[in-house]
Structure 1
Amino acid sequence: MSNAGLAGKTTGIWGRAARGSAWIAMSFVAAQGFRLISNLILTRLLFPEAFGIMALVTVLLVGLMLFSDMGVGPAIMQSQRGDEPDFLNTAWTIQILRGGILWVLACGLAYPAALFYDQPLIGQILPVASLALVFAGFEPTRIHTANRHLLLGRVTVLDLISTLLGIAVMLVLAYITRSVWSLALGSVATAALRLVLMTAFMPGDRNRLRWEKMAGSELLHFGFWIFLSSVCGFLVSQGDKAVLGKFLSIEGLGIYNIGAFLAMFPIMLGSTVTARVLIPIYREHTEVDPVALARLVRLRRIVTGGLILGLAVLALAGPFIVNLLYDVRYSAAGGVMVAICSVQMIVVIFLTYDQAALARGDSRGFFVVSAAKAGLQTAGFVIGALYFGLAGAMLGQAVAMLIYMPVIARLAWRHGVWDAAHDVIFLAVALILGALAVWVNWPQIELLFPGSGGGFYGP
Structure 2
Amino acid sequence: MRRNPMTADKEEAPSLKKRAVTGTLLSVGNVAGMQIIRLAGNLITTRLLFPEAYGLMAMVLVLNQGLQMISDVGILPSIIQHERGDERRFLDTAWTMSVIRGALLSLLALSIAWPYAEFYGQPELFPLVILASTQGFISGLDSTKLATLNRKIELGRLVAVNIGGQLVVLVVMVVWAYLSPTVWALAVGAVAGDLARMVLSHLALPGRNNRFAWDPEAAKVIFDFGKWIFLSTLVTYLGLRFDIMALGKLEEMDVIGIYNIGQNLAGLPVLVTGQIVIWVLLPALSESFRDDQDRFGENVRKARRILNAAGVLMVAATAIGAPAFFYLLYDPRYHGAGWMVQLLMVPAWFFFMQETSIRVQLAMGDSRHQMFSNVAKLVGTVPGALVGFWIAEVPGLIIGLSLGSFMGYGTVCYGLKQKGIPIFVSDLKWTFLGLAISVLGGATPWIVGPMLGVDAQLASLVIGPIVLLPYALYAGRLTLRAIRARPRG
TM-score for the superposition, normalised by structure 2: 0.84
1:381 equivalent to 2:385? Answer yes
Match of 1:218 among 211, 217, 221: 221
Q: Is the 8 A contact 1:263 1:340 kept in 2?
A: yes
Q: What SS is found at the alignment partner of 1:412?
A: helix
Residue of structure 1 equivalent to 2:322: 318
Residue of structure 1 equivalent to 2:212: 209
- Following the alignment from structure 2 to structure 1, what is the Cα–Cα distance between the partners of residues 379 and 172? 38
1:328 equivalent to 2:332? Answer yes
1:316 shift after superposition? 1.9
Q: Which digits, 9 at most, give the CA deviation of each residue in 1:43-70, with x for residues without a partner?
A: 0111111000000000010011111111
Q: Is the 8 A contact 2:62 2:244 kept in 1?
A: yes
Change (3 A) 1:441 1:106: farther
Q: What does residue range 436-451 of structure 1 map to in structure 2 within 5 Å?
A: 436=440, 439=443
Change (3 A) 1:161 1:144: same
1:414 shift after superposition? 3.4
* Amino acid in structure 2 at the alignment position of 1:407: T
1:17 shift after superposition? 0.9
Change (3 A) 1:43 1:184: same
Residue of structure 2 equivalent to 1:449: none
* Amino acid in structure 2 at the alignment position of 1:386: W
- Following the alignment from structure 2 to structure 1, what is the Cα–Cα distance between the partners of residues 446 and 63? 33
1:365 shift after superposition? 2.0
- Following the alignment from structure 1 to structure 2, what is the Cα–Cα distance between the partners of residues 300 and 200? 36
Residue of structure 1 equivalent to 2:262: 259
1:441 shift after superposition? 8.2
Residue of structure 1 equivalent to 2:70: 67
Change (3 A) 1:190 1:89: same
Match of 1:34 among 8, 33, 37: 37
Q: RMSD of the TM alignment (CA)? A: 2.1
Q: Is the 8 A contact 2:78 2:225 kept in 1?
A: yes
1:346 shift after superposition? 3.3
1:23 equivalent to 2:33? Answer no
1:379 shift after superposition? 2.9
Q: What SS is found at the alignment partner of 2:139?
A: helix
Residue of structure 2 equivalent to 1:392: 396
Q: What does residue range 52-451 of structure 1 map to in structure 2 within 5 Å?
A: 52-286=55-289, 287-290=292-295, 293-436=297-440, 439=443
* Amino acid in structure 1 at the alignment position of 2:318: L
- Following the alignment from structure 1 to structure 2, what is the Cα–Cα distance between the partners of residues 288 and 84? 24
- Following the alignment from structure 1 to structure 2, what is the Cα–Cα distance between the partners of residues 377 and 133? 27
- Following the alignment from structure 2 to structure 1, what is the Cα–Cα distance between the partners of residues 60 and 446? 32
* Amino acid in structure 1 at the alignment position of 2:423: D
- Following the alignment from structure 1 to structure 2, what is the Cα–Cα distance between the partners of residues 70 and 105? 16
Q: What SS is found at the alignment partner of 1:351?
A: helix
TM-score for the superposition, normalised by structure 1: 0.90
- Following the alignment from structure 2 to structure 1, what is the Cα–Cα distance between the partners of residues 446 and 279? 37
Q: What SS is found at the alignment partner of 1:208?
A: coil
200-209 or 32-41: bigger deviation: 200-209
1:438 shift after superposition? 6.8
1:10 shift after superposition? 11
- Following the alignment from structure 1 to structure 2, what is the Cα–Cα distance between the partners of residues 228 and 434? 35
Q: Is the 8 A contact 2:315 2:345 kept in 1?
A: yes
Q: Name structure 1 gaps, 5 residues minimum.
A: 1-8, 444-459
- Following the alignment from structure 1 to structure 2, what is the Cα–Cα distance between the partners of residues 79 and 251? 45
428-437 or 170-179: bigger deviation: 428-437
1:29 shift after superposition? 0.4
Q: Is the 8 A contact 2:168 2:189 kept in 1?
A: no
* Amino acid in structure 1 at the alignment position of 2:95: W
- Following the alignment from structure 1 to structure 2, what is the Cα–Cα distance between the partners of residues 340 and 275? 23
Q: Is the 8 A contact 1:349 1:427 kept in 2?
A: no
* Amino acid in structure 1 at the alignment position of 2:109: A
Change (3 A) 1:288 1:435: same
- Following the alignment from structure 2 to structure 1, what is the Cα–Cα distance between the partners of residues 361 and 99? 27
Q: Which digits, 9 at most, give the CA deviation of each residue in 1:400-433, with x for residues without a partner?
A: 3344443111222234433344212112223434
Q: What SS is found at the alignment partner of 2:230?
A: helix
* Amino acid in structure 2 at the alignment position of 1:424: L
**How many percent identity over aligned positions?**
33
Change (3 A) 1:433 1:245: farther
Q: Which digits, 9 at most, give the CA deviation of each residue in 1:181-205, with x for residues without a partner?
A: 1111101100110011110022222
Change (3 A) 1:125 1:401: closer
Q: Which digits, 9 at most, give the CA deviation of each residue in 1:69-91, with x for residues without a partner?
A: 11100011111111111111111
* Amino acid in structure 1 at the alignment position of 2:140: G
Q: Which has the larger radius of gyration?
A: 2
61-70 or 388-397: bigger deviation: 388-397
Q: Is the 8 A contact 2:95 2:143 kept in 1?
A: yes
1:269 shift after superposition? 0.7
* Amino acid in structure 2 at the alignment position of 1:289: D
Change (3 A) 1:349 1:271: same
* Amino acid in structure 2 at the alignment position of 1:118: G
Q: Is the 8 A contact 2:376 2:411 kept in 1?
A: yes
1:43 equivalent to 2:68? Answer no
Q: Is the 8 A contact 1:357 1:415 kept in 2?
A: no
Residue-pair matches, total? 434
Q: Is the 8 A contact 1:346 1:430 kept in 2?
A: no
- Following the alignment from structure 1 to structure 2, what is the Cα–Cα distance between the partners of residues 377 and 12? 42
